[in-house]
């Protein structure tokens, strides 16, 4: 007898794929088996309707599945199977993808609020939702290789788990109050008797700050409408003005934020990210000082659903850490590190295998600002023309992330923090070992940034592998090309790459670039006229320094003297004149800082990276004609016009708008000429400045009619660098 052997590749483990296949087999009257193995899902099927069965596999796949390929071959059957069964997993290693954590599905959410044995149970889940990557210790994805191995199933859960017709069939985190993880509330290390959810909700209503254990780590939470509680949280966390994320049910979020159709769709995505939306101004200013937008998310675990239902409002829900350090994940670690922040702890005893922050995204224009829980470890397909070689890329210094390439797929890791912090650097090293072991990755080459002082670069140098160093801004360009599946031989693209800084190919500091190139090489066509960075790294923290440099360049030194009378201007001017700790840079990020300082926006010091630029964006009024730049992308004429506008009492909203639009129009003119002259096939926009929605939309408007490539699922900031490094390394390997 002739049957068929079907290999299904992609994100097909931990998503209910085997019971889905089993149900299809019943529908089409087939016999055989389905199982998990290191390559994905393997099926042997026999029966008259195998063609219909194969077509249904990808057409009707489970919600969380991502089917990359369905490969069919012959299967010689000597003894016909009498039924279709789900067989035990086979093999070791990892050639398949791992499913990210998924927000609680509607069925499980309803179940925790309805009578039954899981009513009120904070760890309810099924094959369509719940923890995955945050509990995974190894592949194949079976309970014994997760942190749920410590919780033997009770008979009732075992019956659900073994029933192919049940939505919990082989749901590895399956649990109930009789056999699963336990929730409790504690103060000062001592458990408080009573309903943990009720106790936590009461504390929040009283204005307390709580540490809450979630999927990928602890959050610090308080009542978002209680300005005093928010202020106390800021003081304790030493986070003076960086916006806090919020969590609430959709109806409550709609009272404090403007939720459009696309915003609601993204909020409801199984990844459950923090979504940036317009604020209604209904919350205390201390929630997001100086911002016109709020970062909001829906509850994504039963614990969150239960807590919000009992609390009845919107909560601040920010990472449980000291600002700049990695998020806390362990109970003892939380008691040690968060005791100074939290008045109480909502704890549970399911271990977190790896820390994952909440992702941060925007629905319109679509972009991922922080790739994290819910998206990782989902993979991205490589563009046409790339081989299946294994490459490891280690990214940059800020917004650390690594990228593993294998079998034509790229796994861009979750956000690992800024590697200036020693604890984040330690986590970065652990993540390399964790991911390469988990995904059975054996890199042939490692790629890194040109900058010799980056921790990621030093890590790469110590690995003993062939090393490919990649210029920072070419990596940004290549990341955008790769996300858009630009073929290896697709031809040159004009890239506008605007960011804070990166070491240029000439040894100077770049950051406002027009590049012409692809994965194989590039040339720098034009760039923002460089200005000194007085004080070096201090210029990235104190915006007035950049304003001083740019105003002096524009012949407006007297304006700087008037605006910054108490600053050491002459000392810095001397240093700039002598080239002492004042390297020249074309940084667009520092240009934003200079304009912000000129308008009086946090001129003395930023409390977090990008604060001045974010506040400047929040001020911007409607689009229109922008400020003119001089030849060679010289911003001096713009500064002279801004000073005149300030003298004429033009509003800061108008000045901010004209700055954004002028910057966009100046760079757009450069790349449009390259496309219309036949030197470039399209334009790509990358670099952290393009996370500014106002700048992005202005640039797209200025390039109407030109083929455009933008970031949507890969961060435009340094969180996407590793992907660009990886494909550039692959391209170099191809050419050898």
The catalytic residues are 18, 36
Instruction: Categorize the per-residue pLDDT at 734 as very low, low, confident or very high, splitting at 50, 70 and 90.
Output: confident
Least Cα distance to 96 among 55, 58, 68 occurs for 68
Asked if residue 94 has pLDDT above 70, the reply is no
573 inside domain? yes
User: Same domain, yes or no, for 462 and 565?
Assistant: no
Rounded CA separation 271/129 (Å): 10
Question: What's the token pair of residue 662?
Answer: 């002028």
Asked if residue 508 belongs to a domain, the reply is no
Number of structural domains in the chain = 4
Q: Which helix (H) or strand (E) holds 337?
A: helix 331-337
Instruction: Give the mean model confidence (pLDDT) for residues 205-221.
Output: 98
Q: Are residues 212 and 338 in the same domain?
A: yes
Q: Does the residue 225 lie in any domain?
A: yes
Q: Mean pLDDT for the chain?
A: 95
- Of 79-88, 93-102, 134-143, 333-342, the range with the lowest mean pLDDT is 93-102
Q: Which of 118-122, 252-256, 440-444, 563-567 comes out lowest in average pLDDT?
A: 440-444
Q: Are strands 190-192 and 183-187 parallel, antiparallel or unpaired?
A: antiparallel
CATH number assigned to the domain comprising residue 622: 3.30.420.40
Higher-pLDDT residue of 440, 726: 726
Q: How far apart are CA 129 and CA 103, in angstroms?
A: 6
One domain, residues 350 and 449: no
Same domain as 625, residue 705 = yes
Residues in the chain: 736
Strands 683-686 and 493-503: parallel
pLDDT at 141 over 80: no
Report which of residues 142 and 147 the model is more confident about. 147
Residue 300 falls inside a structural domain: yes
Quick: pLDDT tens for 313-323. 999 999 999 87
Model confidence pLDDT, tens digit, residues 154-190: 999 999 998 988 999 889 999 999 999 999 999 999 9
* Backbone angles phi and psi of 117, in degrees to 5: -75, -15
pLDDT in tens, 512-533: 999 999 999 999 999 999 999 9
Q: Which of 308, 329, 361 is the last residue of a domain?
A: 361
Q: Do 261 and 402 belong to one domain?
A: no
211 Cβ contact list (under 8 Å, min separation 6): 218, 219, 220, 221, 320, 328, 334, 338, 341, 342, 344, 345, 346
Output the pLDDT for position 474.
98
Does 411 reside within a domain? Answer: yes
Shortest CA distance to 45 belongs to which of 14, 24, 20, 59? 24
What integer pLDDT is reported at residue 188 of this predicted model?
A: 96
pLDDT value, residue 489: 96
Which residue, 725, 681, 682, 668, is CA-closest to 526? 668
Same domain, 281 and 391: no
Residues 638 and 590 grouped into a single domain: yes
Q: What is the mean pLDDT of residues 438-465?
A: 95
Clarify whether residues 81 and 222 are in a common domain: no
DSSP-assigned letter for residue 420: T
Task: Tell me the per-residue pLDDT of 704-729, one tens digit each, with 9 for 90 and over.
Answer: 999 999 999 999 999 999 999 999 99
Residue bearing tokens 């072991």: 437
CATH number, residue 348: 3.90.870.40
Report pLDDT for 36.
87
Answer yes or no: is 116 within a domain: no
Instruction: Identify whether residues 201 and 287 lie together within a single domain.
Output: yes
- The C-alpha atoms of residue 377 and residue 99 are separated, in whole angstroms, by 7
pLDDT band with cut points at 50, 70 and 90 for residue 699:
very high
Mean pLDDT throughout 205-226?
98
Mean pLDDT of 584-597: 98
Q: What is the CATH number of the domain that holds 417?
A: 3.30.420.360
Contact yes or no for 561/545 (Cβ under 8 A): no
For the cut 70, the answer to whether the pLDDT of residue 92 exceeds it is: no
- Residue holding tokens 């012409």? 516
The tokens of 529 are what?
Answer: 């006229």
Residue 654 contacts by C-beta under 8 Å, 6 or more apart in sequence? Answer: 621, 645
Question: pLDDT per residue over 591-627, tens digit each?
Answer: 999 999 999 999 999 999 999 999 999 999 999 899 9
Q: Is residue 102 part of a domain?
A: no
**From CA 357, how far away is CA 372, in angstroms rounded?**
6
Average pLDDT of span 413-436: 92
For 655-692, how does the pLDDT look when each residue is reduced to its tens digit (9 = 90+)? 999 999 999 999 999 999 999 999 999 999 999 999 99
Cα–Cα distance between 277 and 297 in angstroms, integer?
10
Decide: 155 and 164 in contact? Cβ < 8 Å: no
The mean per-residue pLDDT over the stretch 531-547 comes to 97
Stretch 17-36: mean pLDDT: 93
- For the chain, what percent of residues have pLDDT higher than 90? 89
Structure confidence at residue 324 as a pLDDT band (50, 70, 90): confident
Q: Is 407 exposed, middle or buried (0-12, 13-18, 19+ CB in 10 A)?
A: middle
SS3 call for 287: helix
pLDDT the model gives residue 736 = 64
Residue 400 inside a domain? The answer is yes
The 3-class SS string of 673-696 reads HHHHCCCCCCEEEECHHHHCHHHH
Sign of CA dihedral 53, 56, 62, 68: positive
pLDDT tens-digit profile of 479-513?
Answer: 999 999 999 999 999 999 999 999 999 999 999 99
Instruction: Give how far the C-alpha of residue 473 lies from the chain's centroid of Cα atoms, to the nearest Å.
Output: 19
pTM of the prediction?
Answer: 0.94
**pLDDT confidence band for 95 (50 / 70 / 90):** low
Answer yes or no: do 351 and 393 share one domain.
Answer: no
Q: Which pLDDT belongs to residue 561?
A: 98
Domain region containing 327: 183-361
356 shares its domain with 385 = no
How many CA atoms lie within 13 Å of 95's alpha carbon, on the beta-carbon side?
Answer: 15
What does the pLDDT read at residue 23? 92
357 and 383 part of one domain: no
CA distances from 725 to 454, 458, 468, 648 (A): 15, 15, 8, 48
pLDDT tens for each residue of 347-387: 999 999 999 999 999 999 999 999 999 999 989 999 999 98
Q: Say if residue 96's pLDDT is above 70.
A: no
């Amino acid at each position: 007898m002739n049957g068929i052997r079907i290999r299904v590749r992609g994100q097909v483990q931990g998503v209910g794929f085997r019971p889905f296949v089993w149900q299809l087999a019943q529908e089409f009257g087939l016999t055989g088996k389905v199982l998990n193995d290191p390559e994905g899902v393997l099926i042997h099927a026999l029966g008259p309707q195998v063609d219909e069965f194969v077509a249904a596999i990808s057409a009707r796949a489970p919600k969380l599945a991502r089917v990359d390929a369905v490969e069919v071959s012959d299967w010689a059957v000597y003894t016909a199977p009498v039924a279709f069964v789900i067989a035990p997993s086979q093999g070791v290693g990892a050639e398949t993808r791992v499913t990210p954590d998924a927000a609680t599905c509607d069925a499980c959410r309803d179940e925790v609020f309805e009578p039954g044995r899981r009513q009120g149970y904070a760890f309810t889940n099924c094959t369509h939702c719940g923890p995955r990557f945050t509990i995974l210790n190894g592949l194949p994805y079976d309970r014994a290789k997760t942190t749920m191995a410590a919780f033997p199933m009770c008979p009732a859960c075992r019956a659900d788990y073994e029933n192919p017709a049940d939505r919990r069939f082989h749901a590895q985190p399956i649990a109930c109050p009789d056999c699963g993880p336990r929730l409790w509330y504690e103060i000062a290390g001592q458990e408080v008797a009573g309903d943990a959810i009720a106790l936590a909700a009461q504390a929040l209503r009283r204005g307390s700050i709580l540490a809450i254990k979630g999927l990928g780590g602890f959050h610090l939470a308080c009542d978002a409408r209680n300005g005093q509680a928010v202020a106390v949280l800021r003081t304790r966390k030493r986070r003076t003005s960086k916006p806090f994320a919020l969590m609430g049910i959709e109806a409550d979020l709609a009272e404090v934020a403007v939720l459009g159709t696309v915003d609601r769709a993204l909020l409801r995505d199984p990844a459950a990210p923090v979504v940036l939306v317009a604020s209604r101004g209904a919350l205390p200013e201390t929630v997001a000082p100086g911002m016109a937008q709020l970062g909001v998310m829906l509850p994504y675990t039963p614990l969150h659903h239960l807590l919000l239902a009992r609390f009845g409002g919107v909560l601040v829900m920010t990472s449980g850490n000291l600002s700049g350090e990695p998020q806390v994940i362990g109970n003892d670690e939380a008691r040690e590190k968060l005791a100074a922040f939290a008045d109480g702890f909502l704890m549970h005893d399911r271990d977190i295998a790896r820390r994952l922050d909440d992702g941060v995204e925007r629905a319109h224009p679509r972009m991922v600002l922080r790739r994290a829980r819910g998206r990782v470890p989902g993979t991205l397909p490589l563009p046409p023309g790339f081989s299946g070689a294994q490459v490891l890329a280690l990214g940059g210094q800020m917004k650390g992330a690594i990228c593993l390439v294998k079998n034509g797929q790229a796994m861009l890791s979750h956000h690992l923090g800024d590697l200036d912090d020693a604890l984040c650097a330690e986590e970065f090293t652990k993540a390399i070992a964790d991911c390469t072991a988990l995904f059975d990755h054996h890199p042939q080459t490692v790629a890194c940034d040109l900058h010799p002082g980056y921790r990621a670069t030093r890590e790469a140098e110590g690995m003993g592998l062939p090393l490919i160093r990649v210029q920072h801004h070419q990596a940004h360009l290549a990341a955008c090309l790769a996300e858009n599946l630009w073929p290896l031989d697709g031809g040159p693209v004009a890239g506008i790459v605007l960011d804070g800084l990166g070491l240029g190919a000439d040894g100077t500091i770049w950051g406002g670039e027009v590049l012409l190139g692809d994965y194989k090489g590039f040339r720098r066509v034009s760039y923002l006229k460089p200005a000194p960075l007085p004080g070096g790294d201090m210029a990235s923290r104190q915006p007035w320094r950049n304003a001083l440099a740019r105003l002096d360049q524009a012949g407006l030194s007297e304006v700087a003297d008037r605006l910054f009378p108490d600053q050491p201007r002459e000392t810095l001017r001397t240093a700039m004149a002598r080239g002492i700790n004042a390297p020249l840079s074309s940084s667009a990020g520092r240009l934003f800082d200079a304009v912000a300082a000129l308008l009086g926006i946090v001129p003395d010091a930023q409390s977090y990276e990008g604060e001045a630029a974010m506040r400047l964006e929040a001020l911007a009024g409607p689009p229109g004609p922008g400020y003119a730049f001089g030849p060679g992308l010289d911003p001096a004429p713009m500064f002279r016009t801004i000073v005149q506008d300030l003298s004429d009492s033009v509003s800061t909203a108008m000045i901010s708008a004209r700055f954004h639009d002028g910057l966009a129009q100046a760079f757009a003119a450069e790349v449009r000429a390259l496309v219309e002259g036949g030197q470039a096939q399209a334009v790509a926009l990358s670099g952290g400045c393009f996370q500014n929605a106002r700048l992005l939309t202005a640039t797209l408007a200025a390039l109407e009619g030109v083929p455009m490539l933008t970031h949507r699922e890969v961060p435009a900031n340094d969180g996407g660098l590793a992907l660009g490094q990886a494909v550039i390394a692959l391209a170099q390997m191809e050419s050898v």
